[in-house]
A and B are shown apart, each in its own frame.
Chain A
Amino acid sequence: MISYTFDFSFLLTTWPAFMRGAWQTILLAGSSIAFGFVLALVCAIIRSGKSKLAAGLVGAYVEVIRNTPLLVQIFIVYFGLPSLGLRLSAETAAVIALVINTGAYGSEIIRAGIDSIAKGQIEAAECLGLNKLQIYWHIVLIPAVERVYPALSSQFVLLMLSSSITSQISAQELTAEANMIQSETFRSFEVYLIVAAVYLALSVLFRVVLWAIGEVAFVRRRKLRT
Chain B
Amino acid sequence: MSVNEAAGTRPRNEAVPGAEPIIVVDNVSKSFGPLQVLHGVSLTIERGTMVAIVGRSGSGKSTLLRCMNALDETNGGTIKVCGNAVAMSDRASVKRLRTDVGMVFQSYNLFPHLTVLRNITLALTVVQKKARVEAEKIARDVLALVGLADKAESYPEQLSGGQAQRVAIARSLALSPKVLLFDEVTSALDPELTGEVLKVMEDLARQGMTMVLVTHEMAFARRLADIVVFMHQGKVWEAGPPAEIFADPKTPELRQFLSSGL
Contacts and interface: CB of A to CB of B under 8 A. Distances in A.
- Whether the complex brings A and B within 8 Å at their CB atoms is answered yes
A63 interface: no
Contacts of A126: 71, 98
B122 A130 contact: yes
B157 A224 contact: yes
B165 to A, nearest CB: 12
Q: Is the interface of A mostly helix, strand, loop or mixed?
A: helix
| Interface residue range, chain B | 20 to 34
Contacts of A142: 113
Given A223-B155, A224-B157, A127 B103 contact: yes
A226 to B, nearest CB: 12
Given A143-B113, A146-B113, A224-B157, A128 B105 contact: no
Interface stretch (A15-23, A52-60, A116-124, A201-209): A116-124
Contacts of A130: 122-123, 126-127
B101 A224 contact: no
Contacts of B109: 118, 120-121, 123-124
Contacts of B251: none
B102 interface: yes
B111 interface: yes
A125 B69 CA distance: 12
Contacts of B98: 126-129
B256 interface: no
A128 B175 contact: yes
A129 B111 contact: no
B65 to A, nearest CB: 11
Given A134-B126, A223-B155, A129 B99 contact: yes
A59 B126 CA distance: 33
A202 B122 CA distance: 39
Contacts of B110: 124
Contacts of A146: 113
Nearest to B157: A224
B112 interface: yes
A124 B105 contact: yes
Given A127-B98, A129-B95, A139 B127 contact: no
B178 to A, nearest CB: 13
Contacts of B157: 224
A131 B122 CA distance: 12
Residue among A124, A127, A143 with max Cβ neighbours from chain B (10 Å): A127
Contacts of A121: 109, 111
Contacts of A79: none
A117 to B, nearest CB: 10
Nearest to B120: A128
A215 to B, nearest CB: 14
Interface of B: 69, 71, 95, 98-99, 101-103, 105, 107, 109-115, 122-123, 126-128, 155, 157-158, 168, 171-172, 175
Given A127-B98, A146-B113, A220-B114, 4 more contacts: A125-B123, A128-B122, A131-B127, A143-B112
29 contacts: A118-B107, A118-B109, A120-B105, A120-B107, A120-B109, A121-B109, A123-B105, A124-B110, A124-B168, A126-B98, A127-B103, A128-B123, A128-B172, A129-B123, A129-B127, A129-B128, A129-B175, A130-B127, A131-B95, A131-B127, A134-B127, A138-B122, A138-B126, A143-B111, A143-B112, A218-B113, A220-B112, A220-B113, A224-B155
